[in-house]
A and B are shown apart, each in its own frame.
Chain A
Amino acid sequence: MIDEIGRMVLDTAERFLGDCCTPDTLRGWEQGGSVDDLWAEIVALGLADALLAEEGGDAAVGLPELGELAILCGRHLLPVPLADTIAARAILARGNVSIPEGPILLAPDPAAVWPLAVTAHHALVERDGALQLVALDPSRVTPVQRGGLSARLDLAGVESLIVPSPPAPLLALAASLRAAETVGMLGRIFELALAHAGERQQFGKPIGSFQAVQQQLAVLAEEHAAAAMAVSFAFGLPGHLDMMRAGIAKLRADAAAGKGLAIAHAVIGAIGVSEEFALRLFARRLIDTRLCAGGEAYWAVEIGRRRLKAGATGTLDFIRQTGAAG
């Protein structure tokens, strides 16, 4: 349950993100515009710490508020890893490690490509069997696509600080946050497709009045709802995130992203793959997000192995154990 203070913080974040993340500003940041002013405002609003202040940084990374905030970050395509930073700051505080300024990326596997790596100043990574904090030198963060915020990190020989491991595995945390952002993005592409279906006229009427289009939009709504529930399940229980619930969230959100994005493109038509139409901003980030923190097959195997190990225990009882506070 989100309390009144949490709700206020989320409302503040929603207003702020809605105001500052417009298609024009997003394009500017993607083209290499500085995010320093944006980050300074986020810090000034207290968003980087607000959710964790009262918890004293104590393993608070399973909070429903964090999940909700990550959904908002996805919804507005915030170009800096805010949810990651909040989680990272909690982990650092818990380990009595001094907290650096600037955005911190969660990158469990430092050899992988990570969305928003371009705008991060530090990364929390798993290397040599330990959790480590590394400073990111912009010259060693290589975007994988022109105008993209996803990048590969070159950490060879980079000094790092060992951080005590939190109760939730870093991968579980990263996967849950990516799933939450996907839910935010799916909500927006549903709205974009719905608005387009209401405005765009063909054969003398809005395309949204055709059953073939309506049925597809209904499926997009279903996929969004299922992904949202998977994320709510991951963040909504007391205690910390675990691999099962994180995996369910990432797996379901990724599946929804694949199906949902295809439908949004089908409804919006050719303009949806153009640079000028906002859908492409969401499309790129959705695809980037799907490609990190464990893909669908990775998580399906993780969950499948656990279920097979439980053997004759029925699926219902197995699921109920997963749903018990972790």
Chain B
Amino acid sequence: MESSQDPDKDLVQRTQDGDLSAFNHLVVKYRNRVLGVATRMLGDRVEAEDVAQDVFVKAYRGLRRFQGEALFSTWLYRITANSCLNQRRRRKLEAQTSLVVPGAEPNADNSGSNPHTLLEDKELKLLIERAVQELPEEQRIVLILRDVEGLTYESIAHALGLELGTVRSRLHRARMALQSRLKNVISLSA
């Protein structure tokens, strides 16, 4: 079982014993990853931060029932994914939000309209973020967890409650769709 190799096992155990400082270490360790998933899923930085904080509060309250059947990180991503999907349902947005990354706004004029100019790395990343936002949410969450967060197929399947084959097919479709959207951009950045 993968939980036997959980690097967070000790911190989780101390938190379950009532040590709030141990949980703070877990928050510090995972806050940016949880926030990253939430931001890319919701497309709103402020809203994502609220959701991310709520994810950790839920995790703390539910940690007493956490039996270690999966890695703590996988369990945390599961809470994150569910919270984001619930938040999206709550506000009834359907992949029409614009991603706002702190310190920068995407520049539409540079999104491949000038084929003779090599895209700056920062601009390229903004275009990728926007392309990710345009994916259907069930493909997007799989793509983010796999290609951005680096989770295994098995962890993704556990976090999202999906069959392994479903994860593979959704990931494939997400990658192909993203590649299709970014075809011109990628060739320019090469």
A-B interaction:
no
